[in-house]
Amino acid sequence: MSISIEKQHPLFAAELSGIDVGADITPEIIAAVENAVDQFAVVIMPGQDITDEQQIEFARHFGPRESPAIAASGFAEKGHRLPQYLFDASNLGLDNEILPPGHARREMRAADRLWHTDSSFNPLPTKWSMLSARIIPPEGGNTDFADARAAYDALDENMKERIEELVAEHSLWHSRKKGGLKTVTNAQEQGLPPVTHRVVRQIPGTERKAYMAGAHARRIIGMDEAEGAALLQELTDFATRPEFVYSHQWRTNDLVIWDNRCTLHRGTPFDDEKFKRDMRRTTIDEFAPSWAKVG
């Protein structure tokens, strides 16, 4: 079967067909996926009926895999439903049943409904996420994506200049509090302390510029805290205007890859006390911090 690509939105997001993620991964396949993500930032690969091991193996070809145990659930419950290298974005507990209301991991996941970039609370920039839909609810539960390259291009020149050299602080606990988590312990704060990333980056591959804000971004280094937070909110609001957004309606066995350096995303509601939604994510880091400037 030959590889084909079909655009889903005027600005970004495309469906990539003709690749079997569970089969042997050739250099041609790696190049096709890298090129597609560079060009479209969000790439949907339908019909990927894969095992956890196949998903983890596929991810290996694109960079260092994040081991998400701590951020995923390590602070919320003992044990892991999924193997190392798989982040559990489901509404399921260790017994594969729907988490009860008020469960600690439910509280942790609530902030996924805010616009964010994955794992920007980690020191290394997150290159891509790859989310596999194993079980989807009968309605709702889309994932929305925003193109932060197109948003950057659309900023006025004053704003581009204002943000060019800025560095932002990101913290998991900031987004969790925004998402409604009431208590964050000292051990949690110290276990995942804040990190910094450049706001504006040139994305390797296309050399297009994009900016990174979203729910983990707390303040701008060297700027009054409230002023920095307001600027980050303004940037997030701008990037998530309707013209920059593609909403993905999941089908079972979709594998969706997105570039966290130049997109924002958020989960959307569904009846999560009634229906299972089993989503499993491999996450790929870059090799160097974002402030190691490219070019």
Render 57-106 in DSSP notation, one character per residue.
Answer: HHHHTTSPBP--HIIIIITTSSS-SS-TT-EE-SSB-TTSSBPPTT-HHH
Residue with the closest Cβ to ligand OGA?
267
Output 118 or 147, the one with its CB closest to Mn ion: 118
CB of 141 to ligand OGA, least distance (A): 6
237 Cβ neighbours under 8 A, 6+ residues apart? none
Q: Could you say whether residue 278 binds Mn ion (CB under 5 A)?
A: no
- CA 22 from centroid of its chain's CA atoms: 22
CB of 131 to ligand OGA, least distance (A): 5
Q: Which of 44, 149, 265, 284 binds ligand OGA (CB under 6 A)?
A: 265
CB of 168 to Mn ion, least distance (A): 18
Output 160 or 276, the one with its CB closest to ligand OGA: 276
270, with CB counted inside 10 A (0-12, 13-18, 19+), is: middle
Q: How many helices (H) and strands (E) does the chain have?
A: 9, 15
CB of 109 to ligand OGA, least distance (A): 8
- Helix, strand, or coil (residue 245): strand
Write out the H or E segment, with its range, that includes residue 29: helix 27-40
Output 29 or 118, the one with its CB closest to ligand OGA: 118
Closest listed residue to residue 264, CA positions, set 106, 134, 122, 149: 149
Is the Cβ–Cβ distance between 269 and 140 less than 8 Å?
yes
CB of 118 to Mn ion, least distance (A): 4
Output 142 or 202, the one with its CB closest to ligand OGA: 142
102 Cβ neighbours under 8 A, 6+ residues apart? none
Output 19 or 71, the one with its CB closest to ligand OGA: 71
Q: Which of 66, 118, 147, 285 binds Mn ion (CB under 5 A)?
A: 118
| Residue whose tokens read 């229906």 | 275
Q: Which of 21, 45, 267, 278 binds ligand OGA (CB under 6 A)?
A: 267
CB of 1 to ligand OGA, least distance (A): 28
Q: Which of residues 80-139 bind ligand OGA (CB under 6 A)?
A: 89, 112, 118, 129, 131
Answer with the entry of Mn ion, ligand OGA, none that 105 interacts with (C-beta below 5 to 8 A by kind): none
User: For residues 271 and 11, what is the distance between their CA atoms, to the nearest angstrom?
Assistant: 31
**Edge-to-edge strands, sheet with 278-285:** 4-7, 14-17, 42-45, 255-259, 126-135, 278-285, 87-88
CB of 116 to ligand OGA, least distance (A): 7
Output 125 or 267, the one with its CB closest to ligand OGA: 267
Output 29 or 87, the one with its CB closest to ligand OGA: 87
- Helix, strand, or coil (residue 140): coil
Q: Which of 200, 279, 282, 290 binds ligand OGA (CB under 6 A)?
A: 279
Answer with the entry of ligand OGA, Mn ion, none that 213 interacts with (C-beta below 5 to 8 A by kind): none
Contact set with ligand OGA (CB under 6 A): 89, 112, 118, 129, 131, 143, 265, 267, 279, 281
Contact set with Mn ion (CB under 5 A): 118
